[in-house]
A = this chain, B = another copy of it.
Amino acid sequence: MPVSLGELAVRFGCELVGDPDVEVSSVASLPNATRDSLTFLSSSAYKRQLSETQAAAVILRPADAGDCPVAAILHHDPYACYARMAAVIHPPPAFDAGIHPSAVVDASASIADSACIGPHVVIGERAIVGANVFLGPGTVVGPDCSIGDDCRFIASVTLARAVHMGRRCIMHPGVVLGADGFGNAMTPEGWVKVPQVGGVVIGDDVEIGANTTVDCGAIDDTVIEDGVRIDNLCMIAHNVRIGAHTAIAGQSGIAGSTTIGKRCMFAGSAGAVGHISICDDVVVLARAVVTRDITEPGSYSGLFPAESSRAWSKFVGRLRRLEALQSRVKKLEGK
């Protein structure tokens, strides 16, 4: 959607250095920008690309304005400003309200008139779908689920049962919410399934990435608070609670009954074992696994970076011979 630089600057309270009537109709990276595109500079690592950009305008910090060869939109946080402006230029696709004739909606379900129920969607018993909700093709909403206003399910999302979702959430394809948690009791005859009767409660403004799963609670609910962001292929086990505005990157896994605080960040393939508690403002770096309560905000690590197999093999060998080294030191001390 074309929009003028002046309108963007006014709407988001930025200073504009340049012609307010110039329109931008797309976003672009600094090197690939063309004269109708908006771009941004948020990291000095890319400053070299600034001088040659062909963009209509660049969002950047006031301190960088002098180096900008085109119109400049000044903001102390160019990336956040870009995010908001990009959403004006590239809004989510519009949709028409209504239920596609191929959708199968249970008679006991309640669907807002303004909702869009796509092709081959299935909606189960007693489900409630709020205003302006978009349920993309192939989505399944199981029994006893409720979906708040303005949620968008892109396509192929499955809510097994008893999922209660707030407003403005975005669910990507392959997301599975409310499937049974992994509850099994060992007996002499083998595993006995422990019925998983809790639900999933999801706050407002939550976004969940493709093929991620959030299991229902065993007895009480699994809870994802407001503003949480979860990337692709993550596993959130039963009875986990994730605090507001926490972000969890791809392939991370949180085991059962663990509580994570607010504004935490998990990098890719990070994780936490079950039945622990992690306080607010904790950052868990890539592939690190938290195995105990964390009560201090801060950054936590646990990864040995890959190195050449030869160097790694020497390194591991040396560690394995540490016992021998200890003995040698002991012997020296004895002398």
Contact = CB atoms under 8 A, between A and B. Distances in A.
B309 A299 contact: yes
A241 interface: no
A199 interface: no
B179 A173 contact: yes
Contacts of A309: 285, 298-301
Interface stretch (A13-21, A62-70, A246-254): A246-254
Interface string A5-30: 00000000000000000000011110
Contacts of A318: 322-323, 326
Contacts of A298: 308-309
B160 A154 contact: yes
A180 B191 contact: no
Nearest to A271: B269
Interface residues of A, number: 124
Contacts of A150: none
Interface in A284-315: 284-292, 296, 298-310, 312-313, 315
B268 A253 contact: yes
A326 B319 CA distance: 11
A209 B193 CA distance: 12
Contacts of A290: 305-306
Given A138-B158, A160-B210, 17 more contacts: A27-B219, A28-B219, A80-B185, A182-B249, A184-B207, A211-B211, A211-B213, A213-B233, A215-B232, A231-B235, A250-B253, A253-B269, A273-B286, A292-B305, A300-B308, A325-B325, A328-B329
Interface of A: 26-29, 32, 77, 79-80, 82-84, 86-87, 89-90, 93, 100, 102, 104, 118-120, 122, 124, 136-138, 140, 142-143, 154-156, 158, 160, 170, 172-174, 176, 179-180, 182-187, 190-195, 197, 205, 207, 209-211, 213, 215, 219-220, 226-227, 229, 231-233, 235, 237, 244-245, 247, 249-251, 253, 255, 268-271, 273-274, 284-292, 296, 298-310, 312-313, 315-316, 318-320, 322-323, 325-326, 328-329, 332-333
- 5 tightest Cβ-Cβ pairs between the two chains A and B: A288-B306, A122-B137, A302-B306, A291-B305, A301-B312
